[in-house]
Amino acid sequence: MIAPASILEICLIGWLGAFAALIAYKFLTGQISTGGLLADQPGNGLQADRLQMLVGTIAGAAAYVGLAAKAGGFPEVPDWMLMLLGGSQGIYLYGKKLRSP
């Protein structure tokens, strides 16, 4: 017999997978606009603070998924990951402050 916690975990992973697939589909079909993802206005060019925040977030998420796969569950978030994400957000906010009038 499967434990209720295992069933819940399987359902949660399935739901998250379906949600990720839906978002990927909408990105690929153009239903989600990425025009302002790396720049304030279209045509303004790449902004380094936005790029580093995107890369830091993706790297942190990938590292956590790797930790979760090794542990076989949801581990505690390591201090270095909190510092990475907090520092990345701080750099982004500082850049945003510098660009505001």
Is residue 24 located within the same domain as residue 52? no
C-alpha pair distances (Å), 15 with each of 26, 73, 86: 17, 16, 28
Is residue 26 located within the same domain as residue 59? no
Task: List, as one string, the DSSP characters of 49-80.
Answer: HHHHHHHHHHHHHHHHHHHHHHHTS-PPPPHH
Is residue 73 located within the same domain as residue 98? yes
Q: What integer pLDDT is reported at residue 38 of this predicted model?
A: 80
Is residue 57 located within the same domain as residue 72? yes
- What six digits make up the tokens of 31? 């239903």
pLDDT, average across residues 57-73: 89
Is residue 61 located within the same domain as residue 42? yes
pLDDT surpassing 70 at residue 47: yes
Q: What integer pLDDT is reported at residue 46 of this predicted model?
A: 82
Is residue 12 located within the same domain as residue 44? no
Is residue 8 located within the same domain as residue 51? no
Number of domains into which the chain is organized? 2
| Residue 1: pLDDT band with limits 50, 70, 90 | low
pLDDT surpassing 70 at residue 70: yes
Neighbours of 92 (CB within 10 A): 20
- pLDDT tens readout for residues 5-28: 788 888 888 999 999 999 999 989
| C-alpha span between 97 and 6 (Å, rounded) | 46
Is residue 40 located within the same domain as residue 20? no
Domain region containing 5? 1-32
| Residue 35: pLDDT band with limits 50, 70, 90 | confident
Model pTM score: 0.67
